Amino acid sequence: MYVTDPIADMLTRIRNANVVYHESVDVPHSNVKLSIAKILKEEGYIRNYKVINDPKKPYAVVRVFLNYGPNKERVIQGLRRISKPGRRIYVGKDNLPKVMGGLGIAVISTSQGLKTDTEASQLGLGGEVVCYVW
């Protein structure tokens, strides 16, 4: 199956699994998706992630383990893809977005890799706004 926007596909899979309280979700592997999973783990939105190479499948998958609160509250309230293949959104170092008044994070694709909005601000970097997570 050919996917036009693999990052949007990953975010949709996580969003759908989160809605029905799944423990984990599998996403086809790529380095960008791995970087997004790393950021989500560092920020506490997911418990963990793991790359699984199954010889029966033609490609590796990234298994994302979702995180919930003690009373099954969703840690991820929302995920939104911002820059899309048809319309790229770029920001400079002075115009980095604040998600939900600073309660969420924006994932920015910079020249030094994927960074959160606060990391990009500290490093003085701008770039493409990949997604918002809150």
pLDDT for 106-129, tens place per residue?
Answer: 999 999 999 999 999 999 999 999
pLDDT at 54: 85
Same domain, 68 and 88: no
Domain contains 19: yes
Domain boundary among 54, 74, 94: 74
Count of structural domains, the chain: 2
Domain contains 1: no
pLDDT at 122: 97
- Better pLDDT: 62 or 3: 62
How confident is the model over 55-106, as pLDDT tens digits?
888 889 999 999 999 999 999 999 999 999 999 999 999 999 999 998 999 9
Same domain, 70 and 11: yes
Task: Calculate the CA 105 to chain-centre distance.
Answer: 10
Same domain, 61 and 94: no
**Domain around 84:** 79-133
Same domain, 59 and 85: no
Same domain, 38 and 91: no
Same domain, 89 and 70: no
pLDDT at 57: 81
* Nearest Cα residue to 116 out of 38, 17, 59, 24: 38
Same domain, 19 and 57: yes
Transcribe 67-85 into DSSP letters.
-B-TTS-BS---EEE-SBT
pTM of the model: 0.93
Number of CB atoms found within 10 A of residue 74's CB: 14
- Better pLDDT: 88 or 54: 88
Band of pLDDT at residue 1, cut at 50, 70 and 90 = low
Same domain, 13 and 29: yes
